[in-house]
Amino acid sequence: MDYFRDTILNWVLFVPLVGALVLLAIPGDRKNLIRWVANLFAFAGLLVALPLVAWYDKTEAGFQFTIAKDWIPSIGASYRVGIDGISFLLVMLTVVLGFIAILSSWSFIQKRVKEYYIMFLVLQVGMLGVFMALDFFLFYVFWEVMLVPMYFIIGIWGHERKLYAAIKFFLYTLLGSVLMLLGILGLYFFHSGLHAAGAACPAIDAAGHAIDTFSIPVYLELGKVLPVPWQVWIFWAFFISFAIKVPMVPFHTWLPDAHVEAPTAGSVILAGVLLKMGTYGLMRFSLPIFPDATRMYAPYLAVLSIIAIIYGALVCMMQKDMKRLIAYSSVSHLGFVTLGIFMLNHTALSGSLLQQVNHGISTGALFLIVGLLYERRHTREIAQFGGLATPMPIFATLYMIISLASMGMPLLNGFIGEVTILIGTFQVNKVWAGFAVVGIVLAAAYLLWLYQRVMWGEVTNPANKGLRDVNLREAVTLVPLVLWCFWIGVYPKPYFEVLDKPIALLVQRVEVAQPAMPVAVTLPETEEETPSEP
């Protein structure tokens, strides 16, 4: 058990990969076997992650369950994984949504079944790796690894304009990641250069020499010494990469296309997890490594977030396509998340991370809802529906609850996240909070209006008369998400407790005062002693 405990992150990370390898060995025409195996491995991935819930130490601010192995020693790259409260919640979100997404694909995916599931399991590895990696080199590898399967999932199993969407998604994200790579290299050389400049730096070996390293825990300490001009340049390199991923206005136009064209499970994962990689990046890297640049630009980025909230909500109003509407609602909801991040205080940051989880649950579920309708009617056009509450009463209830969760109804998850973000925002700027509240009102309007057009009234379209209500498998995908919505809404305390220490550390790092020059930092004693020896 101790062995398992020490290596648990490896298990969580690689069980899906093993699944992908096993699938490789199964002949492609045995579709049902492939489905069973893929679902079992996805479920196993969920099961091995569950002990984390019990073992996670809430009193610890730093990384836990860390595993470190040398990988490419000559450049200082290593295999290093670990989680803190921030990544812990996102890892749990990923394993749950990953399993649900794979389960939801059962009848939807009929062609190239084997390749599909392999792609999905590899995608799962990439996403988990991004949240767990404690080495920038490794992080970048996972960041790129996840891109490829998603590209194929959209491009092969997508809808009408899948190729356009896939290319757009790929190029947008790639542009961002190249900039981030430059940023990482900048940090890498800065860190090595610290040694040359004779200054103290976070990572030194026994002899007092700086180590060439990509270690994220080391880089997180760089915020204290990184000069402001460096911070500004590298901040923007990282920021554009993450802003594309979130996506923040005006980098958001890949999102509606990718969501609309992706198969249901792809949309669930895109909205539920992939977007969180951007916000995770902002919280994990941008804030602590570039504290001065962050504080300098935070007001502008907060305004950009508010624009996203209102802009996204207004664009929702005019959509004729259900999936596109929900995609744009993500832009609006993620606006709340980034707003929370750039408030740079404990309350807003906790709310922001909680809201990332909330958005993953409720928007993921909304995409499942659309997928369910698409499987029955092969259309996503709102005007094609109407009156579905009559033939599908259970579906109507589930859909109602999820809509309410998404619009921030009390007792459901979205409320807690939005309220904590807004209380945090209110401390910083009351006017911003006022504008953000408009987003909540608009969310009620567009989600209820959508619900009303799809579910209420008489069944006018004969094609909708005999629609089947949710079956057991579909219920298994939706009900856990609904229960999770209630859990966070009624008893969010455990989430706040998990986040408390890591967020406090993060806030402390952002608030650190920048010394004038890195050289001003006290020199390590060993450096002074060496000349006297010969």
Partner 1 sequence: MPESFINVVWLVPFFPAASALLMLLVGRRLSRPVISWLCCGTVFLSFLVSVGVFFELLRLPATDRLREVSLFTWIPSLPLLSEAGTQSFQVEWAYLVDPLSAVMILVVSGVGFLIHVYSIGYMAHEGGYYRYFGYLNLFMFMMLTLVLANNLLLMFIGWEGVGLCSYLLIGFWFLKKSAADAGKKAFVVNRIGDAGFLLGIFLTATTFGTLSFVGVNSILAGGQFAAGSSAITAITILLFIGATGKSAQLPLYVWLPDAMEGPTPVSALIHAATMVTAGVYMVARTNALYRLAPFTLEVVAIVGAVTAIYAASMAMVQTDIKRVLAYSTISQLGYMFLACGVGAFAAGIFHLSTHAYFKALLFLGSGAVIHALAGEQDIRKMGGLWAKLPITGKTFLVAALAIAGIPPLAGFFSKDEILWRAFANGNWLVWGLGTVTALMTAFYMLRLVILTFFGGSRRSPEVEHHLHEAPRSMTVPLILLAGLSIVGGLVGIPAVLGGGNRFEHFLEPVFGHAAAAPSHALEFVLMVLSVVVGLLGILVAYVFYLKRPEIPAQLARRFSGLHQLVYNKYYVDEVYSKVFVEGPVLGKAMGDTFGRFDLKVIDGIGVDGSAWLTRFTSQLSIWWDTWIVDGAVNLVGWTVWILNWPARALQTGLVQRYALWMAAGVALLLFYYVQRYILGS
Using alpha carbons only, what angle is made at residue 269 by residues 264 and 270, rounded to the nearest 5 degrees?
Answer: 95
Smaller CB separation from partner 1, 101 or 440: 440
Rounded least distance, CB 208 to partner 1, Å: 38
Smaller CB separation from partner 1, 99 or 495: 495
Rounded least distance, CB 124 to partner 1, Å: 29
Contact call for residues 270 and 259 (beta carbons, < 8 A): yes
Q: For residue 347, which amino acid is it?
A: T
Which of 139, 375, 349 minimizes the C-alpha distance to 263? Answer: 375
Smaller CB separation from partner 1, 52 or 421: 421
Which of 276, 278, 337 minimizes the C-alpha distance to 302? Answer: 337
Rounded least distance, CB 316 to partner 1, Å: 7
Rounded least distance, CB 456 to partner 1, Å: 4
Distance between CA atoms of residues 446 and 433, nearest Å:
20
Contact call for residues 330 and 359 (beta carbons, < 8 A): yes
Rounded least distance, CB 206 to partner 1, Å: 39
Smaller CB separation from partner 1, 266 or 489: 489
**Look-up: residue for tokens 């809404």?**
489
Contacts of 54 (CB under 8 A, 6+ apart): none
Which of 445, 433, 176, 404 minimizes the C-alpha distance to 305? Answer: 433
How far is residue 84 from each of residues 7, 78, 131, measured CA to CA in Å? 15, 19, 10
Contact call for residues 234 and 290 (beta carbons, < 8 A): yes
Smaller CB separation from partner 1, 88 or 116: 88
Smaller CB separation from partner 1, 130 or 389: 389
Binding interface with partner 1 (CB under 8 A) = 168, 172, 250, 252-254, 256, 311, 314-319, 345-347, 350, 387, 389-390, 393, 397, 404, 409-411, 415-416, 419-420, 422-423, 426-427, 430, 433-434, 437-438, 440-442, 444-445, 448-449, 452, 455-458, 490-493, 496-497, 500
Rounded least distance, CB 34 to partner 1, Å: 35
Rounded least distance, CB 302 to partner 1, Å: 16
Smaller CB separation from partner 1, 411 or 523: 411
Rounded least distance, CB 509 to partner 1, Å: 15
Smaller CB separation from partner 1, 286 or 420: 420
> How many CB atoms neighbour CB 510 within 10 A?
20
Q: Concatenate the DSSP letters of all residues of 368-383 into one string.
A: HHHHHHHHHHS--BGG
Smaller CB separation from partner 1, 112 or 509: 509
Rounded least distance, CB 2 to partner 1, Å: 31
Long-range contacts of 75-78 (CB under 8 A, 24+ apart): 75/137, 75/212, 75/214, 76/188, 76/211, 76/212, 76/213, 76/214, 76/215, 77/135, 77/137, 77/138, 77/214, 78/135, 78/137, 78/138, 78/213, 78/214, 78/215
Rounded least distance, CB 342 to partner 1, Å: 17
- Interstrand relation of 77-83 and 64-72 (parallel, antiparallel or unpaired): antiparallel
Reading the block at residue 399, the tokens are 């859909």
- Phi then psi dihedrals of residue 73, to 5 deg: -60, -30
Residue 64: strand pairing partners:
83
Contact call for residues 433 and 422 (beta carbons, < 8 A): yes
Contact call for residues 227 and 517 (beta carbons, < 8 A): yes
Distance between CA atoms of residues 510 and 426, nearest Å:
19
Contact call for residues 166 and 188 (beta carbons, < 8 A): no
In which element (H, E) is residue 65 found?
A: strand 64-72
**Look-up: residue for tokens 């836990």?**
64
Smaller CB separation from partner 1, 101 or 166: 166
Smaller CB separation from partner 1, 476 or 490: 490
Rounded least distance, CB 447 to partner 1, Å: 11
Contact call for residues 166 and 160 (beta carbons, < 8 A): no
Smaller CB separation from partner 1, 107 or 460: 460
Contacts of 519 (CB under 8 A, 6+ apart): 197, 198, 199
Rounded least distance, CB 254 to partner 1, Å: 8
> How many CB atoms neighbour CB 435 within 10 A?
16
Q: For residue 67, which amino acid is it?
A: I
Rounded least distance, CB 259 to partner 1, Å: 13
Smaller CB separation from partner 1, 20 or 248: 248
- Phi then psi dihedrals of residue 456, to 5 deg: -95, 175
